[in-house]
């Protein structure tokens, strides 16, 4: 390759560019481009995570009034609590934790975090509202209407009430 030697200039970058073979130049350009694209992609990913987390925390989760008014048909039944505890232990504990505080081992990876049943906000929610949320699900909270019977879901509500210190 015929390199053109320019007289040494005070700016060393200019000298280097003049001596670059087209191949080296292309290689460097590609490395530079790939690196910048990588950084841009990471930036976008971080931004979208922040945006999604924000959006989910911002949106309140409210059950429709018609279902929120439903009463637990198994309220006050001890065997419902016992059955609910069993389903809870196998199905809900990984996320909601053994005492329902939302601190199960799988909670680390979730945003928003699993609900803490012992919080005053959730203790104040109606049976119907909790039943609807547990049935429909949202985001990291899978809906259980397809996998648990209606009876099993009301049993869970009975059990969750005991975690809140209610009967
Ligand atoms: C994979 C993790 C995961 C599992 C398993 C899970 N949950 Fe959840 N749960 C969540 C998350 C996350 C939320 C919060 C969702 C939100 O606010 O968008 C939540 C929220 C809820 C809520 C709504 C509380 C409120 O009023 O805001 C109820 C009720 C609930 N879960 C019940 C259950 C029950 C009962 C089970 C077991 C049958 C269960 N969940 C299993 C992750 C889970």
Q: What is the pLDDT of residues 102-151, one digit of tens each?
A: 999 999 999 999 999 999 999 999 999 999 999 999 999 999 999 999 99
Residue nearest atom 30 of ligand 1, based on CA coordinates: 134
Q: What is the pLDDT of residues 20-44, one digit of tens each?
A: 777 776 777 777 667 766 666 655 5
Residues 116, 10: Cα–Cα separation, whole Å: 67
Whether residue 81 lies inside any domain: the answer is: yes
Q: Structural domain tally of the chain?
A: 2
Structure tokens at 74: 């198994």
This prediction's pTM: 0.73
Nearest to 159 by CA among 137, 132, 124, 127: 127
| ∠ CA 62-67-68, rounded to 5° | 55
48/21 same-domain check: yes
β-partners of residue 138 are: 141
122/155 same-domain check: yes
- Going from the Cα of 55 to the center of ligand 1, the distance in angstroms, rounded, reads 18
Whether residue 6 lies inside any domain: the answer is: no
Residues 149, 153: Cα–Cα separation, whole Å: 6
Whether residue 96 lies inside any domain: the answer is: yes
Whether residue 85 lies inside any domain: the answer is: yes
- Going from the Cα of 139 to the center of ligand 1, the distance in angstroms, rounded, reads 9
- Going from the Cα of 46 to the center of ligand 1, the distance in angstroms, rounded, reads 25
What one-character-per-residue DSSP string does 113-136 give?
PPP-TTSHHHHTS-HHHHHHHHHH
Among the residues of 59-147, which ranges form H helices?
65-68, 78-91, 93-96, 120-123, 127-136
Q: How far apart are the first and last CA of the chain?
A: 88
Domain around 43? 12-58
77/158 same-domain check: yes
Whether residue 122 lies inside any domain: the answer is: yes
- List, chain by chain if needed, residues with CB within 6 Å of any ligand 1 atom: 56, 61, 91-92, 94-96, 106, 110, 112, 114-115, 122, 125, 130, 133-134, 138-142, 144, 156
Ligand 1 atom at shortest distance from the alpha carbon of 138: 18
40/77 same-domain check: no
Residue nearest atom 34 of ligand 1, based on CA coordinates: 92
Structure tokens at 124: 């104040």
Residue nearest atom 6 of ligand 1, based on CA coordinates: 92
Find the CATH number of the domain harbouring 156: 1.10.760.10
Q: What is the pLDDT of residues 41-96, one digit of tens each?
A: 655 565 455 455 544 554 889 999 999 999 999 999 999 999 999 999 999 999 99
Residues whose CB is less than 8 angstroms from the CB of residue 114 and which lie 6 or more positions away in sequence, other chains included: 95, 96, 97, 102, 104, 107, 140, 141
């Amino acid at each position: 390759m015929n390199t053109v030697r320019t007289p040494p200039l005070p700016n060393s970058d200019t000298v280097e560019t003049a001596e670059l073979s087209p191949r080296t130049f292309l290689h460097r350009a590609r490395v530079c481009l790939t690196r910048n694209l990588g950084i841009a992609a990471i930036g976008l990913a971080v931004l979208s995570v922040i945006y999604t987390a924000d959006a989910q925390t911002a949106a309140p989760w409210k059950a429709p009034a018609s279902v929120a008014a439903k009463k637990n048909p198994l309220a006050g039944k001890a065997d419902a609590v016992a059955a609910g505890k069993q389903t809870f232990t196998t199905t809900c504990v990984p996320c909601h934790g053994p005492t329902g505080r939302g601190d199960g081992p799988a909670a680390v990876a979730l945003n928003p975090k699993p609900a803490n049943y012992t919080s005053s906000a959730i203790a104040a929610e109606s049976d119907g509202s909790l039943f609807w949320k547990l049935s429909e699900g949202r985001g990291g909270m899978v809906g259980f209407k397809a996998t648990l019977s209606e009876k099993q879901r009301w049993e869970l509500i009975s059990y969750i009430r005991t975690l809140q210190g209610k009967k």
